[in-house]
Structure 1
Amino acid sequence: MTDARGFMGRYCGLVNDSSPSRYVVVVTHATRDDAFDAAAEFISEVAGRDIGCAVPDDQVEPMSTKLPGIDLEGLGEFTREAEVVVVFGGDGTILRAAEWSLPRHVPMIGVNLGHVGFLAELERSDMADLVNKVCSRDYTVEDRLVLNITVTEHSGQHRWGSFAVNELSLEKAARRRMLDVLASVDELPVQRWSCDGILVSTPTGSTAYAFSAGGPVMWPDLDAMLMVPLSAHALFARPLVMSPAARVDLDVQPDGSESAVLWCDGRRSCTVRPGERITVVRHPDRLRIARLAAQPFASRLVKKFELPVSGWRQGRGRHHPEETS
């Protein structure tokens, strides 16, 4: 009897006389062997259940070496409808995967192999549960607010655009001078800051750069926008929480600023010249995050930040009351 595995070309999966009817996308941290090992284990398991997979083009070759006999489809040629994107890495890898999943409205599941990992809910030890629930479609999907960003020249011509899942950061390009930026909300001036930069964040991004800059933690199911000035030379430089329907304009002033750098999620950047405007509004698409378990955000917050919840009277090193018998 002829072994039919691998005859269908570059699709991931064990192939009999037809292609799989279901597909998932797998995105892996580009430089971590443990991430590739975990992803290979997942692909092998779902392939055995007749679920096809696709991976980023630059990961086809390294992943193939770990999966002899299983062919891989590169995302550049992938035309199937994927059910979910499974990401092995940290939040940075999820932000990379969002560039593919956001315009296609495909939910993502993150397996945390990084550090804090607020977007990634699973750990490496949860592999069996991950495989079973992906195969049985046993998960819920959260929709998250995303930011839409445009850069406009002084003439009014749009010259650059992108999106942000976590935040956009407008930062000075040179250390010798501060940025001079006028911030407006709904086309009304709010404050002009001399500062190192300004962040505009989503609730999802409130536990990232904005948190380090002194912004509040926002529950991710909240629809709102957050603006945080960075090291502003001003008496009033507090974070501002705004409506999700707000329009935020950041005008780099032409009479005192040098060029600035605009970053979206730390991945996509643009030079912003004096006299140009950055406009931030709600993106028409929503980021879709798949959850395998109904874990409240408060529980994730305590776990990820290792927040003390047992009280100082118990002393350092003592167990949480729930952990004692």
Structure 2
Amino acid sequence: DGWQANGVAVREPTAFAEGLDLAVVLGGDGTLLRAAAMVRDARVPVVGVNLGRLGFLPEIEHEDLAQALPRLARGEVAIEERMTLSVTVRDSQGQATATSWALNEASVERRSPERLVALDVTIGGTAFARIPADAVIVATPTGSTAYAFSAGGPILSPRIAAILLTPVASHSLFDRTVVIDPAEPLVVAPAEDSRCLISLDGREALAVPDGGWVEVSRGSEPVRLGRLSEFDFYQRVRAKFNLT
């Protein structure tokens, strides 16, 4: 009500993208991820203005906003498409109980903080490994600089089409990231009495039914990021991670 009293139009999230040519998002990476979830299906590009600490995804630093606004108003924005993940949760009978998507990562995590979760991973139809861990992160190249990076995963250029599988605090000799072709189906299933959930970009959590599993594949619809200049990924990494 306070916003509306000052002449600001307030929309429900489901109607946020209606009539938009461009979404300008004020905040950090988390805010941009939440905004992307509201506009992706409408194919609306997102331009982030960094008000956060790291702000890897936003295009504009807050001190540069005044200079950027006229260019945004004139539509001087190039579009960069970023790969997403499609996620399906199934029950023990194979029936889909939930579907969603992620831009950064889908993290299959333990439900109980006092116990590990044992996860059976199948890649391209081949039973690959049972991984006892706190979680297993399935990340896009965009997400390679986020949660997966903090868990020891590699940084991938967003120009590469790949999916990363990164264990978190693995209690086995195998604790390395696996780089997967997006065309290879990926299935993660809790083993035996393990119980888990899947967290999507930190904005949504889905419970995995007992005896069920999670299927992850390349998303059919990318997220469109707006750029005011040619995007230099390696310069962005250098600047944000203070590399010398």
Where on the TM-score scale, by shorter chain, does this alignment land: which range? over 0.9
User: Quick one: structure 1 residues 63 and 299, their matched pair in 2 at CA, closer, same or farther if it must change by over 3 Å?
Assistant: farther
**2:213 alignment partner in structure 1:** 277
SS at match of 2:240: helix
Question: Is this contact kept in 2: 1:252–1:273, CA < 8 A?
Answer: no
Unaligned runs of 5+ in 2: none
Q: Tell me, yes or no, if the aligned pair for 2:4 and 2:10 is still in contact at 8 Å.
A: no
Structure 2 distance, partners of 1:278, 1:292, is 37
Bigger radius of gyration among the two: 1
Structure 1 counterpart of 2:213, one-letter code: R
Sequence identity percentage: 35
Of 268, 282, 293 in structure 1, the residue corresponding to residue 204 of structure 2 is 268
> Aligned pair count?
243
1-structure distance, mates of 2:33, 2:53: 15
**Residues 221-259 of structure 1: CA distance to partner in whole angstroms, max 9, x if unpaired?**
2211110011112112210111122211001112x42x2
Which sections of structure 1, spanning at least 5 residues, go unmatched?
A: 1-60, 310-325
CA distance in 2, matches of 1:62, 1:122: 28
Counterpart in the other structure of 1:163? 101
Structure 1 residue 95 corresponds to structure 2 residue 33: yes
Deviations 1:154-203 (A, max 9, x none): 11111011111110111111133221111011111111111111000011
Mapped partners of 1:244, 1:220: distance in 2: 13
SS of equivalent to 1:181: strand
Corresponding residue of 2:119 = 181
Q: Which residue of structure 2 lines up, in the alignment, with residue 297 of structure 1?
A: 233
Deviation, structure 1 residue 73: 5.5
Does residue 225 of the first structure (1) align with residue 163 of the second (2)? yes
Whether the aligned pair in 2 keeps the contact of 1:166 and 1:205 (CA below 8 Å) is yes
- Give the superposition deviation at 1:300: 0.7
Structure in which a larger fraction of residues adopt strand: 2
1:128-166 Cα shifts (integer Å, max 9, x gaps): 332111121112110010001011111111101111111
Check whether the contact 2:3–2:10 (CA below 8 A) recurs between aligned residues: no
Matches of residues 132-281 of structure 1 in structure 2 within 5 Å? 132-254=70-192, 256-257=193-194, 259-281=195-217
Are the counterparts in 2 of residues 143 and 221 from structure 1 also a CA contact under 8 Å?
A: no
Structure ranking higher on relative contact order (CA contacts 8 Å, 6+ apart) = 2
Q: Tell me the SS of whatever aligns to 2:69.
A: helix
2:63 is equivalent to residue 125 of structure 1? yes
Alignment TM-score, normalising by the size of structure 2:
0.93
CA distance in 2, matches of 1:283, 1:77: 22
From 93, 106, 115, the equivalent of 2:44 is: 106
Cα RMSD of the aligned pairs, angstroms, is 1.7
1:130–1:233 CA distance, 2 compared to 1 (3 A) = same
AA of the residue aligned to 2:131 = W
Say which of 14, 20, 36 aligns to 1:82.
Answer: 20
Are the aligned partners of 2:59 and 2:226 in contact in 1 as well (CA < 8 Å)?
no
Residue-by-residue CA offset, 1:95-136 (whole Å, 9 max, x unaligned): 110121111011000000001111102111112332111121
**Structure 1 residues 114 and 182, CA, compared in 2 at 3 Å: closer, same or farther?**
same
User: Residues 268, 188 of structure 1: CA spacing in aligned structure 2 closer, same or farther, 3 A cutoff?
Assistant: same
**Which residue of structure 1 aligns with residue 9 of structure 2?**
72
What is the identity, as a one-letter code, of the residue corresponding to 2:149? F
